[in-house]
Amino acid sequence: MTMMKKLLTSAVASAMMASGAQAAISNDTVKIGYLADMSGTYRDLAGPNGLKALEMAIADFGGQVNGAKIEVVSADDRNSPDTSSSTVRRWVENEDVDLVAGMVASSVSIAVSKILEENDRLGIISGSAASSITNEHCTPNHIHYVYDTYPLANGTASAVVKEGGKTWYMLTADYAFGHALEGDVTRVVEANGGEVIGTVRHPFPTQDFSSFILQAQASGADVIGLANAGADTTNAITTASEFGVTQSGQTLAALLLFLTDVHALGAETAQGIQLTTGWYWDMNDETREWSDRFMEETGVRPTMVHAGIYSSTMQYLNAVKATGSDDAQTVRKQMMDTPINDMFAKNGKIRVDGRMVHDMYLAEVKTPAESTNEWDLYKILRTIPAEESYRPLSESKCKLVNN
């Protein structure tokens, strides 16, 4: 073969490959649906600013993948599995949505993941906490990205027990997330020689926590564990403060507390609370640079969920680019094969069960004297390595894991 023929053959092959890759992106469009609580209990931790984080990722990526445009649709899930299921079914069956992102309430994520599996579309869950999402409720069509109840218990609960909080009374949101967190906390407390002496479950969401806090206070437990999130947590902490819970010698353990919650409470109220987080805006130059850009767009500092939505969107788009496809299984495999090294996580990886594992952090809310501005709220006490943070695959009930 002459050199000219070789060059022509190579050029034709390259063109065919490019054409094939382009054709593999359905409808010449990568379409992302953002689903989250946009107006209720979980609005601040994800909500509209999570959509902004997703849009920042798309803009930073260049607004297209291999020449295919990127489109975004969004909806308020109203923390309702039924509403969310109806929305996502319409998206994947009628509107050709390739990826569903966001997702906060665990009951919503579990319901939506079933529809994604039925239709072989992909979901990346960034806001939900229930560890069951990649355990008994795992599917080959979703990834759980930011955190879950397993490291929350391993971090906060174990630290509190080791500091002397041996008896616990749990105040639990009565749905999948609360139940999972309560179970994981009970496991950790008992493993460290403590005991859960009682539990009260409250409706989700709840405005008045008076009766629940009084029951917990009357239990005489060393620790009142809050297995809830968002406005439920801040309302419970505020009520406990009004009733003098901590002044009477009991410890209040907020098992899931977001930066926006602490900001709403203020350092005066929240000071000294220990919590586990998957990310903090002021950890290093890289996190600060991205957080400064986010704050310019939104007026607030990002939560770990906002950062996780940005990171996971970039990882997804990179996988689509690398494979030339928006096929759910092709993209998921590429994401699993690609280590995550960005402003959100270092050496993160996505396991076969869909769990993205990365380091977590035990933090403590600063005192007003320690805080230099309204968002300078955490001091990081220690890093919890990825291999210690998440449920080991040897204990998994996921159908995708060969134990």
Among 349, 368, 358, residue whose Cα is nearest residue 389 = 358
User: Which token pair is 160?
Assistant: 């509190």
pLDDT value of position 4: 43
103 phi and psi angles, rounded to 5 deg:
60, 120
* Count of structural domains within the chain: 2
Rounded to 5 degrees, what are φ and ψ at 199?
Answer: -145, 140
Question: Do 269 and 183 fall into the same domain?
Answer: yes
On whether the CB atoms of residues 1 and 9 are closer than 8 A, the answer is yes
Q: Is residue 11 part of a domain?
A: no
In this structure, are strands 349-350 and 356-357 parallel, antiparallel, or unpaired? antiparallel
Residues 268, 378 share a domain: yes
CA dihedral over 299, 305, 306, 308, signed as positive or negative: positive
Q: Are residues 104 and 251 in the same domain?
A: no
- Side-chain half-sphere exposure of 273, counting CA atoms within 13 A: 31
Best CA proximity match to 25, nearest among 326, 391, 295: 326
Residues 124 and 227 placed together within one structural domain of the fold = no
Q: Are residues 299 and 335 in the same domain?
A: yes
What is the chain's Cα-based Rg?
22
Give the range of the structural domain holding residue 199, as residue numbers without chain letter.
Answer: 150-277+360-389
Whether 1 maps to a domain, the answer reads no
Q: Confirm whether 291 is domain-assigned.
A: yes
Q: Are residues 66 and 127 in the same domain?
A: yes
pLDDT at 120: 98
Residues 130 and 33 in one domain: yes
Q: CA–CA separation, 88 vs 123, rounded Å?
A: 10
User: CA-to-CA distance for 25 and 21, rounded, in angstroms?
Assistant: 7
Residue pair 213/184 in contact (Cβ under 8 Å)? The answer is: no
Per-residue pLDDT of the chain (403 residues; tens, 9 = 90+): 444 444 444 443 443 344 343 448 999 999 999 999 999 999 999 999 999 999 999 999 999 999 999 999 999 999 999 999 999 999 999 999 999 999 999 999 999 999 999 999 999 999 999 999 999 999 999 999 999 999 999 899 998 998 899 999 999 999 999 999 999 999 999 999 999 999 999 999 999 999 999 999 999 999 999 999 999 999 999 999 899 987 888 988 999 999 999 999 999 888 888 899 999 999 999 999 999 999 999 999 999 999 999 999 999 999 999 999 999 999 999 999 999 999 999 999 999 999 999 999 999 899 999 999 999 999 999 999 999 899 999 999 999 998 5
CB neighbours (10 Å) of residue 179?
18
What's the pLDDT at 271? 87
CATH code of residue 243: 3.40.50.2300
Q: Are residues 67 and 140 in the same domain?
A: yes
* Structure token digits, residue 262: 């602490």
Q: Looking at the structure, do residues 264 and 238 belong to the same domain, yes or no?
A: yes
Q: Are residues 139 and 205 in the same domain?
A: no
